[in-house]
Amino acid sequence: MCGDPSPRNQYLFNGDFVDRGQFSVEVAFLLLALKVCYPRAVHLNRGNHEATRMNALYGFLRLGARDRREVQQRASAQKIPPVEKELFRLFSDAFTHLPLCTLVNDSVFVVHGGLSSKDGVKLSEIQQLNRLREPDETADQLMLDLLWSDPMDQLGRLPSPRGGGVLFGPDVTERSLDG
């Protein structure tokens, strides 16, 4: 619909590639294949569902309609030997290598979740994060914020009802843009 990826027609996919319907495996394979075919024109950010725990809870690994896991269903439907655990492990490993944010044209900050629970975060701090890990309760707070935070209408910050990240108001956004 929007044309093939190219240096003049770039695509940025901003996380949550899986756990959004019955074709998560196909979507993940397609996006990874596009990244291989067009490495300078297709960009993938990690979302909060590119995590082993989320995949187990919300569909990518969850038991499906006939009590079979989605990865296993896809592998079986293609008459592939039962390698679902290894396939899931490889997906999980690939997801950890995805960037947590993208800076477009040195002016647009794109992140799956939102802003940090503290003011003044620098891009260098984000670059130093160990992203080759799960975004769980032992992860760096900044990683959780980038994957889980959400905007809200009121001023300030509040704990997120989703457990990770924070809710942040327009004043926090404004300060971030000024910084």
Q: Give catalytic residue positions.
A: 49
Distance of alpha carbon 145 from alpha carbon 117, whole angstroms? 7
Distance of alpha carbon 165 from alpha carbon 142, whole angstroms? 8
Question: Tokens standing for 125?
Answer: 């701090």
Collapsing DSSP to helix, strand or coil, 63 comes out as strand
Distance of alpha carbon 58 from alpha carbon 75, whole angstroms? 19
Task: Kindly list the distances between the CA atom of residue 45 and the CA atoms of 2, 42, 136, in Å, as whole numbers in the listed order.
Answer: 20, 10, 18
